Structure formats: structure tokens, C-alpha cells
Amino acid sequence: MSFSCRKCNYKEIVHNLDLSLAARLIEHRLCHNCYQWSSLASSKEKLKHSLVVINSICYLINNTKSSSKFTIRFRDGKQITTHNLFLFGEVPKRWRKLLTDNARFVKRK
């Protein structure tokens, strides 16, 4: 089965996907890519200080430990230092109104 995504018009073919994921994509009429961005956008309040968008690049603070240290200041004033920053990707233009920049990197002194 296939359908056109209601956001980007991509033709999604769902027969090779996990049945649970395929059902969600069909229900929402979204391709896999748009479904991921939609899920992030709808969870941004719940993920408040775990979802980081800087210069339209999306990051998630997660449990993956890296050797790099990042200090992030959110627009609400909260500052976090972490070794657990995962690059999710550049926010597609169609999602930038929902996933706006919410932080900046603090420069090391």
C-alpha cells in the first residue's frame, strides 16, 4: 500500500514497515520523515529542556554519552551543560513555524 503525505506530498510505501508504524503513518497520512517531525513538534512542551533547536538545527538531550561538552542556554533562561547531545537534523522549512529556535550554545570562556 502507498499514499501521498499530506504535508510534503512524498509517496510513502508502507508494506515494508513495522505494522504499528505503518498504521500510525496511514492514520495521520504522513510520510515517515514528516511523522517524526510532527511527533517532535507535538511533544515540544513535554520535552521542554530535552528538545534543543539552534539555528534551525534540532538536537535531543538523551542518554548517549559523548566526550564533547555542550553548554546550552534556553530562551527561558535555563542553562544546561551536557555530554549527551544527539543531532536529530535540520528542521525542514515546513516545520520551522512549529519547531522554532529555543536556545543557543554558550561560548566557552
**Within this chain, do residues 26 and 67 fall inside the same structural domain, yes or no?**
no
What local confidence, expressed as pLDDT, does residue 79 receive? Answer: 96
Whole-number percent of the chain with pLDDT over 90: 78
**Of 39, 50, 57, 51, nearest to 96 (Cα)?**
57
- Domain of 48 in residue numbering reads as 43-109
**Within this chain, do residues 62 and 87 fall inside the same structural domain, yes or no?**
yes
Please compute the mean of the pLDDT values over residues 85-103 and round it to a whole number. Answer: 95
**Within this chain, do residues 33 and 86 fall inside the same structural domain, yes or no?**
no
| SS3 call for 81 | strand
User: What is the 3 state secondary structure string of 42-56?
Assistant: HCCCCCCCCEEEECC
How far is it, in rounded angstroms, from Cα 68 to Cα 108?
A: 12
Q: Which helix (H) or strand (E) holds 25?
A: helix 19-28
**Within this chain, do residues 54 and 94 fall inside the same structural domain, yes or no?**
yes
**Within this chain, do residues 107 and 54 fall inside the same structural domain, yes or no?**
yes
**Within this chain, do residues 48 and 7 fall inside the same structural domain, yes or no?**
no
How far is it, in rounded angstroms, from Cα 5 to Cα 72?
A: 34
Q: Which of 16-20, 42-46, 70-74, 97-101 has the lowest mean pLDDT?
A: 16-20
**Within this chain, do residues 38 and 62 fall inside the same structural domain, yes or no?**
no
DSSP state of 91: P
**Within this chain, do residues 49 and 101 fall inside the same structural domain, yes or no?**
yes
Indicate the residue type of 75.
Answer: R
What local confidence, expressed as pLDDT, does residue 109 receive? Answer: 56
**Within this chain, do residues 49 and 35 fall inside the same structural domain, yes or no?**
no
**Within this chain, do residues 62 and 30 fall inside the same structural domain, yes or no?**
no
In which residue are the cell numbers 514528516 written?
Answer: 34
Task: Report the number of distinct structural domains present in the chain.
Answer: 2
**Within this chain, do residues 30 and 54 fall inside the same structural domain, yes or no?**
no
**Of 69, 64, 63, nearest to 83 (Cα)?**
69
What local confidence, expressed as pLDDT, does residue 108 receive? Answer: 66
**Within this chain, do residues 64 and 104 fall inside the same structural domain, yes or no?**
yes
For 40-85, how does the pLDDT look when each residue is reduced to its tens digit (9 = 90+)? 999 999 998 999 999 999 999 987 777 788 999 999 999 999 999 9
